Amino acid sequence: DVNYGWLMRMIHANGASTFFICLYLHIGRGLYYSSYLLLLTWSSGIIIFLLIMITAFLGYVLPWGQMSFWGATVITNLMSAVPYLGTTLVNWIWGGFAVENATLTRFYSFHFVMPFIALMMMIIHLMFLHQTGSSNPMGSNSNLDKIPFHPYFSLKDLMSIIIVLFLLMLLSLLNPYILTDPENFIPANPLSTPIHIQPEWYFLFPYAILRSIPNKLGGVIAL
């Protein structure tokens, strides 16, 4: 309930989708140019990806709508598939015996902290990248082919950032709810389960893996 609070919220929500579009394009480019051969750079990138996925999931729970609540319930319950420790682990994550206010407080705290951990990993990722050199269409890493980062790449990156921010503002101002599940406008109700529980689009690939295997433990192992 502050001036332009709705705008900040829409930029934040749609910014997550924009971020994941850029992230998946980056991963796709890495696969195309065989960046996975640079083990340290690729491994640190995968860790960053997992941290960002966790951050996005924690943030998705915070609006406390129907999809938020039941998404949190379903995903955290996957931990119960861990032999012996499963139930204890789930109760520890929840801070009780169900997804409730204590869970929301914990998720909010972790949602705030996780980006800083991801940022630290990004610095490590860049350090590894500077050691090995970036992948390119020619597959060459010769000093003869290199050009200064500034002004060539710095201006190119600046232009890309301006275009992405322009598209994000356009989306946030003209059609801010296009990527939002309408079910999530309904306040969380533990007594009413939605007919279709589905995640945001950027979580669809792990969701598809989980749905394709009928056994809970099998789905967790596949993930």
Per-residue model confidence (pLDDT) at position 16: 96
Owning domain of residue 98: 5-135+160-222
Mean pLDDT across 172-194: 93
Which residues have C-beta within 8 Å of that of residue 49, sequence separation ≥ 6? 23, 27
146 occurs within a structural domain:
no
More confident residue, 139 or 40: 40
pLDDT at 179 over 70: yes
Overall domain count for the chain: 1
Cα–Cα separations (whole angstroms), residue 205 to 110, 140, 142, 202: 23, 33, 37, 7
Per-residue model confidence (pLDDT) at position 104: 94
C-beta neighbour count of 140 within 10 angstroms: 10
Whether 130 sits among the annotated catalytic residues: the reply is: yes
Per-residue model confidence (pLDDT) at position 133: 76
Give the model confidence (pLDDT) of 111-130 as tens digits: 999 999 999 999 999 999 98
On the CB side of 137, CA atoms within 13 Å amount to: 0
Whether 134 sits among the annotated catalytic residues: the reply is: yes
Whether 156 sits among the annotated catalytic residues: the reply is: yes
Domain CATH code at residue 10: 1.20.810.10
Whether 200 sits among the annotated catalytic residues: the reply is: yes
Per-residue model confidence (pLDDT) at position 151: 86
Active-site residue, from 34, 43, 134, 192:
134
Q: What percent of the chain has pLDDT over 90?
A: 69
142 occurs within a structural domain:
no
Active-site residue, from 26, 157, 192, 212:
157
64 occurs within a structural domain:
yes
209 occurs within a structural domain:
yes
Active-site residue, from 156, 160, 192, 212:
156
Give the model confidence (pLDDT) of 66-107 as tens digits: 999 999 999 999 898 888 888 999 999 999 999 999 999 999
80 occurs within a structural domain:
yes
153 occurs within a structural domain:
no
Question: 199 near 207, Cβ under 8 Å?
Answer: yes
Active-site residue, from 43, 130, 146, 154:
130
Question: 94 near 85, Cβ under 8 Å?
Answer: no
145 occurs within a structural domain:
no
pLDDT at 139 over 70: no
The CA distance from 208 to 219, in Å, is: 10
Helices 154-174 and 5-32, packing angle to 10 deg: 130
121 occurs within a structural domain:
yes
